[in-house]
Structure 1
Amino acid sequence: MKKKLLFVCLGNICRSPSAEAVMNAYLRINQLDTEFECDSAGTGGWHAGHPADSRMQRHAIKRDYNLTSIARQFNPKNDFDEFDLIFGMDEQNVSDLKSFARNSDDLNKIKSMTAYCSRFVNYNSVPDPYYGGANGFELVLDILEDACEGLLKELT
């Protein structure tokens, strides 16, 4: 049975779909895509049903990451049961996820994405690039590549 990973940000159009795409790419490269399954969600539902932000898609495609997921809102009733680990992109996401938790099992599944970084150790969150410029989108991908490398080591 596949281990299921869920990446969560605020609106599920920039950071969490990027984390999903980066992790999926790393899983494929390491021939682990048969052992893990990834998804993403947002704590809010404003963008539900929409594709990833076009700016985030442009930056991701330059690194050969394809953001194919469609935004959805985190569903505490299903997602805590469905997923083995749930990664918040920033401290507010982690806090929101913890507030949705029904019990200690749910709480134990919630992790901070940046906890797996080895190079971007001064970042306690993956910063939201939505209102910034191109550098913000590149920084998100840099941090997520670092975090996904660390997460992959942890999982294997």
Structure 2
Amino acid sequence: MKKVSLLFVCLGNICRSPAAEDITKKIAEDKGILTLLDIDSAGIGDWHIGQLPDARMRKHGYIHGYKFNSKARQICMNDFNRFDYIIAMDKDNYSYLSNIAPNKECKKKILRISDYLKLYPNYDKIPDPYYGDDDDFENVIILLEDACKNLPLSLFNK
């Protein structure tokens, strides 16, 4: 069986997208389907390449039982071929990804994570907590837990 591959994308790949990556891995692990998925994250910018997620995000992740420990990387053109879904954290990320997608088929792979919020439908993005406080980081985790449970993967519905 072919693995389903997901790439979560935010601005710098140190807050939202690595959190979405690990939250989705935990959901998949709990459902017994982690080996059927290829899950990664990337950033639009190159400012944080090689860095661990923001310490505040790691702290709040730990409180929720997550280990946000992937190293930041920048999205590359090969990602459009490698991944089945490329999931943007906000409208700006979605627009950027749509603009750099090499063709229409690749553009169809790009999703907005906010479209999968069920408990918090009034949010049209996962807000960037970088310049915020502890409440902002906590909010991101709560929103991502909701959205990641509802991603359009038939595997998650088994």
TM-score by length of 1: 0.96
2:122 and 2:153 mapped to 1: Cα distance?
20
1:106 and 1:59 mapped to 2: Cα distance?
33
Runs of 4+ in 1 over 4 A off after TM superposition: 152-155
Number of matched residues?
Answer: 155
- Residue equivalent to 2:51: 50
Q: Find the residue that maps to 2:151 and give its secondary structure.
A: helix
- Residue equivalent to 1:71: 72
Deviation at 1:37, TM superposition (A): 1.4
Deviation at 1:151, TM superposition (A): 1.0
Unaligned runs of 5+ in 1: none
- Give CA deviations for 1:86-124 in whole Å, capped at 9, x if unaligned: 000000000000011111111100000111110110011
Unaligned runs of 5+ in 2: none
Q: Find the residue that maps to 2:26 and give its secondary structure.
A: helix
- Give CA deviations for 1:72-95 in whole Å, capped at 9, x if unaligned: 00002x100110000000000000
The residue type paired with residue 129 of structure 1 is P
2:58 and 2:115 mapped to 1: Cα distance?
25
- Residue equivalent to 1:99: 99
- Residue equivalent to 1:21: 22
1:131 and 1:103 mapped to 2: Cα distance?
34
Deviation at 1:152, TM superposition (A): 6.1
1:64 and 1:114 mapped to 2: Cα distance?
23
Deviation at 1:145, TM superposition (A): 0.3
Q: Find the residue that maps to 1:151 and give its secondary structure.
A: coil
- Residue equivalent to 1:33: 34
1:131 and 1:151 mapped to 2: Cα distance?
27
- Residue equivalent to 2:12: 11
Q: Kindly report the root-mean-square deviation, in angstroms, between the aligned alpha carbons of the 2 structures.
A: 1.1
2:11 and 2:31 mapped to 1: Cα distance?
29
- Residue equivalent to 1:89: 89
Deviation at 1:34, TM superposition (A): 1.4
- Residue equivalent to 1:123: 123
Paired-residue identity, % = 44
Deviation at 1:154, TM superposition (A): 5.4
TM-score by length of 2: 0.95
- Give CA deviations for 1:117-141 in whole Å, capped at 9, x if unaligned: 1011001100000000000001100
